[in-house]
Amino acid sequence: MTLTDTRYLELHRGKWRVVVPVPRRLHDKLGTKLKRSLGTDSLVQANRLKHLVIAELRRQIDRASDTRPGDPLVEEALSLRHQLAAVRSRDEEEMLQFAVGLRAEELRGEPIGEDFDPDRGPRPVYDSVREKRAGSFLRIARGIATPIALEHEKFILQSATKKRTKGDDRRAIKLLLDWCERKGISPFLEAITKKVAVQFLDDLPGLIPGKTAVTGNKYVSRLRAYWSWLENRHVVDTNVWRGRRLVVAPRRHEEKPREFTDKEVKTLLEGPASDAMHDLMMIAALSGARLDAIVDLKVKDCANGRFIFKPQKKEPGPREVPIHSALKEIITRRTKGKAEGDDLFPEYPVPKANSQRERSFRAANQFVKYRRKVGVDDVISGSRRSRVTFHSFRRWFITKAEQADQSGDIIALVVGHKRSGMTLGTYSGGALFEQKRKCVEAVRLPAFRRMRRR
């Protein structure tokens, strides 16, 4: 590249102008190209002037596409940074560095006073806010500093996590950025050292008043995942969040979540639950499946005497579980006359695309109200949560299977837990379907007589 380079330039009526192509998806909004006259007929001068204009036009494209909303000045600096990374000659690099310097001086503004340094004599004093902004712009544009959240949305898009976890990702990064602003710490990846990470951890409880250390560790975990992703992409040299966590006070035995008792299961199944809630409870009690996996079942997932539950937590793939004989009436009733792709539980539709809630959110809330209504509760003084939840059906199933002398490894296979040891956990191809069927059928519900809702 030389001073006679015509990239992003075209001659129009004797004057050079900058031309930046617009992505096809934005043609209706911006047209096919953005153009800006440089007011000169000199190609050498046009090359000196074009870079800041290119950055401004690209920033306009970014705003229109709404793919990277944020500080316009940061976007401008990033555009110049990308241009610097793409230069192919020393001349072009010098011109672009000069343009970046001029823009930084413009942002800093004129001196607002003068200070005297005994060693260097008088020196100009600038507005502190403008000087800070200019310094940040210069460091970003020259690739010295990288905004903390620069790659965060890309990280979220590439993460195979639930919407709720993606929401935690965004809350975690906002907590960190807000804290940096209050502490006067530059919001750049380079500024987040191990020492700074420890300081953030010390202050975290005060940033989330009313929340437990468990919640704080959830946010630290999401920052750790982001930094790990950055480390793998060689954006940062080390994951400063590795090994960092708040101390969580151990739960007393009487505070830990537990399984339902047989009496509680009987009370729940006999009570005036809706048909949908009763069916959910029955499937949970006789399969050990999680609520979200049950709510998400399709008709095709309940064929040939087996459930196909979607993978959850760290499960490597869908899980095949025999359908308990006591559930056949429910499955027949709920699949009759439906297509394979229809929902087994249409009462609980998929949330809207912008919702961070899981599909089971509504069912979980309904169950809490129903459980309390029929008097099934176990809240320890000083605690907000009950020891019994819908998940207690899963614990009850596992308990009953074990009490029926079923192998722990077969139970683990049925409920989707990791099996013990290398032999079964790594080398075994899994138990036969008939072995899993015996395990499921070994679980028996307490005798109950259901009360229908009026």
Question: Which residue is listed with tokens 């409870």?
Answer: 281
373-382: average pLDDT = 87
Query: What percent of the chain has a predicted confidence (pLDDT) above 70?
Result: 92
Q: What is the pLDDT of residue 68?
A: 44
Q: What is the pLDDT of residues 147-157, one digit of tens each?
A: 998 889 889 98
Residue with the bigger pLDDT between 48 and 169: it is 169
Structural tokens at position 311: 């993978």
pLDDT of res. 69: 47
Domain boundaries, the chain: 9-141, 152-232, 255-441
Give mean pLDDT, residues 208-233. 93
Is CATH 1.10.8.60 the classification given to domain 255-441? no
Summarize the confidence of residues 435-441 as an average pLDDT.
95
Q: What pLDDT digit, counting tens, does each position of 251-284 carry?
A: 665 678 999 999 999 999 999 999 999 999 999 9
Which of the four pLDDT bands, split at 50, 70 and 90, describes residue 429? low
What local confidence, expressed as pLDDT, does residue 366 receive?
A: 96
Residues constituting the chain: 454
| pLDDT tier, 454 (very low <50, low <70, confident <90, very high otherwise) | low
Average pLDDT for residues 323-351, to the nearest whole number?
95
The predicted-structure confidence for 91-131, as pLDDT tens digits, reads as follows 888 888 888 888 889 889 888 888 877 777 788 888 888 88
Q: What pLDDT does 195 receive?
A: 96
Is the per-residue pLDDT at 426 higher than 80?
no
151-170: average pLDDT? 89
Among 139, 132, 130, 245, smallest CA distance to 189 is for 139
